[in-house]
């Protein structure tokens, strides 16, 4: 009787008011029936139905698990995803360097939701070297991008991504601060009218605050004001318990916060001239997401943004779980907390960025549409050809049909040559990415850019008892590692493991060699900092390791021969305050609160 009533109670959590009332009546009747049955009557009832007592006993043991599973299902389906609606104005602004960071910067943002009856607005960028004098204008260079898909749960309906606008501002001066104002307006009115509107908005709001939508061109915002799913708001459960957070971490919820003012003036600084002794500094973070701990990491970078020239996010960006609406909440999170509308953010593919829908075969669509890296060629993005259903993100398929675009690319910044590798594109010899990488490595001129930095989501070496047999890691160690050792790459930055790790200079099979690269795993940006060690005593090639602190790192190049690496913890993990070893509950290894190392450029060693 308890189980029968409990099952009705769980069903009520997702039913209409009338259906709930009916179920309450049903529960009342069942409860009365239970009370009226005597112990002997219940025994007779079981015997008449031929139900063995042993089976009843086993069923009673299984009931708590069944109830927990049912409750988890209800909570998961009720988990609200509430993107912010801003009446079609500019939002989600973020930056990336262009092919030549000394003279190019790419500005990306979103505008109106791309429902079938909505026409894409026209976009542009007003910019200049001082706030009072912003007279340059970049008109639309390509039609805004969008995509749509069916969401993982049928009752969530169909999803239409907002229009994504990408602009590359060129012919800039090196090491110069520029102010910029993204604008959108009527496509029918054209570029000239939008330019005049941008100047009007800037002149009206220069050094003032104003209302959020003041100065915006009139637009049809009927579709924009639609609430995605009103039932989701009504289904919010106050204080999701820890078990729910672990099962399905909720999306960032900023829907009640103010939209960013569309006339907000921002700034960026171009890269310094390429020079072997040019000091530069980069923030390095992995596996960020949109969680509470992510906010500590991003806010720390924001509060120290003047210390960095650019930032690298090494895969597993938004953790959408194939719910594409969570890209909106992720960028709402950026609007509220991040500096990446002023500091360029360079990304790499992660397994959680694949985002294959359970009922579809498209992959990497959010990753490719919403960002614009200094691509070599436009993306060649195929479809997943494996079985239907969800992918196992702990063992992602390899390789994926994804070439060029944001998958792999390179750029120079100051004294560094940075190469971004896609661990989820084909890395085998003869593949498109492999051949490109061979050519790219041969093009590196260490007399001009003496530092060679690599980013790739999966770590080739790993002190933790996780992901040792990933196909991407096997391929990277077998095919990519020899190339990087041959060309004396300095640093290899990775994520994937939600923890921190720094190795010695190593070559194949983790043999210590001063000419080999240093491997940094920096995957505790915000998602579930926790990972067990394989061994109590660290491997000989490990310099430092910790899985108790969230954070990110700073790589500071001082000149052609010297650099410094600093790990920056931001907040303790709420899962455990000590490091642990698999299957050794008796072993508690102290947390590590800081780490750093002076790095000598091994390229100049004999």
Pick 553 or 71 by higher pLDDT.
553
pLDDT in tens, 148-162: 988 887 777 889 999
Nearest to 523 by CA among 346, 249, 333, 314: 314
Helices 53-78 and 2-12 pack at an angle, to 10 degrees, of 10
Residues 6+ apart with CB under 8 A from 291: 249, 252, 319, 526, 527
Q: Name all domains of the chain by residue range, CATH numbers in brackets.
A: 2-78 (no CATH), 91-230 (2.60.40.380), 277-604 (3.60.21.10)
Q: What's the rounded Cα separation, in Å, for the pair 6 and 302?
A: 48
Q: What's the rounded Cα separation, in Å, for the pair 507 and 488?
A: 10
Is a pLDDT exceeding 80 seen at residue 420?
Answer: yes
Q: What's the rounded Cα separation, in Å, for the pair 181 and 197?
A: 11
pLDDT in tens, 589-604: 999 989 999 999 999 9
Order of all β-strands in the sheet with 177-185: 136-139, 122-128, 177-185, 266-269
Is a pLDDT exceeding 90 seen at residue 465?
Answer: yes
Give strand pairing partners of 168: 106
State the average pLDDT over residues 470-476: 97
Q: What is the pLDDT of residue 216?
A: 41
The H-or-E segment that residue 69 falls in is helix 53-78
Tokens representing 266? 């921002």
Strand runs labelled E in 114-161: 122-128, 136-139, 148-150, 158-160
pTM for this predicted structure: 0.83
Q: What is the pLDDT of residue 90?
A: 96
Q: What is the pLDDT of residue 48?
A: 42
State the average pLDDT over residues 307-335: 96
């Amino acid at each position: 009787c308890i189980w029968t009533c409990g099952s009705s109670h769980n069903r009520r959590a997702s039913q209409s008011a009338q259906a709930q009332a009916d179920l309450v009546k049903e529960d009342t009747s069942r409860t009365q029936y239970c009370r009226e049955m005597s112990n002997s009557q219940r025994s007779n009832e079981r015997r008449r139905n031929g139900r063995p007592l042993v089976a009843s006993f086993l069923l009673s043991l299984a009931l708590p698990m069944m109830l927990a599973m049912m409750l988890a299902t209800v909570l998961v389906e009720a988990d609200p995803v509430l993107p912010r609606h801003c009446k079609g104005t500019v939002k989600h602004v973020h930056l990336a360097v262009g092919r030549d960071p000394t003279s190019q910067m790419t500005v990306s943002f979103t505008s109106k939701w791309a429902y079938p009856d909505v026409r894409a607005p026209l976009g542009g960028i007003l910019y200049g070297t001082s706030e009072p004098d912003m007279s340059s204008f970049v008109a639309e260079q390509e039609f805004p991008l969008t995509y749509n898909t069916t969401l993982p749960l049928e009752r969530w309906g169909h999803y239409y991504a907002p229009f994504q606008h990408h602009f590359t501002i060129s012919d800039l001066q090196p090491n110069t601060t520029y102010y910029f104002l993204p604008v959108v307006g009527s496509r029918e009115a054209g570029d000239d009218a939008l330019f005049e509107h941008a100047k009007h908005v800037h002149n009206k709001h220069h050094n003032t605050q104003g209302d959020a939508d003041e100065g915006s061109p009139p637009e049809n915002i009927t579709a924009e004001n639609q609430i995605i799913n009103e039932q989701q708001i009504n289904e919010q459960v106050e204080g999701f318990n820890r078990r729910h957070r672990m099962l399905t971490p909720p999306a960032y919820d900023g829907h009640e916060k103010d939209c960013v003012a569309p006339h907000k003036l921002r700034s960026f600084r171009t890269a310094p001239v390429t020079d072997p002794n040019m000091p530069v500094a980069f923030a390095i973070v992995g596996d960020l997401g949109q969680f509470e701990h992510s906010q500590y990491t991003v806010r720390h970078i924001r509060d120290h943004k003047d210390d960095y020239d650019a930032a690298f996010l090494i895969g597993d960006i938004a953790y959408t779980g194939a719910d594409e609406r969570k890209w909106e909440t992720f960028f709402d999170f950026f609007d509220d907390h991040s500096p990446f509308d002023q500091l360029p953010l360079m990304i790499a593919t992660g397994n959680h960025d694949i985002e294959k829908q359970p009922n579809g075969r498209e992959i990497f669509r959010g990753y490719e549409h919403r960002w614009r890296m200094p691509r070599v060629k436009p993306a060649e993005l195929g479809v997943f050809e494996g079985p239907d259903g969800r992918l196992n993100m702990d063992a992602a398929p390899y390789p994926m049909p994804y070439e060029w675009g944001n998958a792999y690319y390179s750029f120079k910044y100051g004294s560094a040559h940075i190469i971004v590798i896609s661990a989820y594109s084909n890395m085998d010899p003869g593949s498109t990415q492999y051949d490109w990488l061979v050519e790219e490595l041969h093009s590196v001129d260490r007399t001009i850019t003496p530092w060679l930095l690599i980013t790739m989501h999966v770590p080739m070496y790993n002190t933790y008892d996780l992901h040792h047999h990933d196909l991407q890691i096997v391929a990277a160690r077998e095919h990519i590692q020899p190339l990087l050792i041959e060309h004396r790459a300095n640093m290899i930055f990775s994520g994937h493991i939600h923890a921190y790790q720094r190795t010695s200079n190593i070559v194949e099979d983790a043999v210590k060699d001063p000419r080999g690269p240093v491997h940094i795993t920096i995957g505790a940006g915000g998602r579930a900092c926790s990972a067990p060690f394989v061994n109590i005593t660290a491997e000989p090639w490990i310099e430092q390791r910790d899985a108790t602190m969230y954070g990110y790192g700073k790589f500071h190049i001082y000149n052609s021969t010297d650099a410094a690496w600093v790990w920056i913890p931001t907040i303790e993990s709420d899962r455990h305050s000590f490091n642990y070893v698999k299957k050794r509950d008796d072993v508690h290894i102290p947390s590590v609160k800081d780490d750093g190392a002076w790095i000598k450029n091994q390229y100049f060693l004999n």
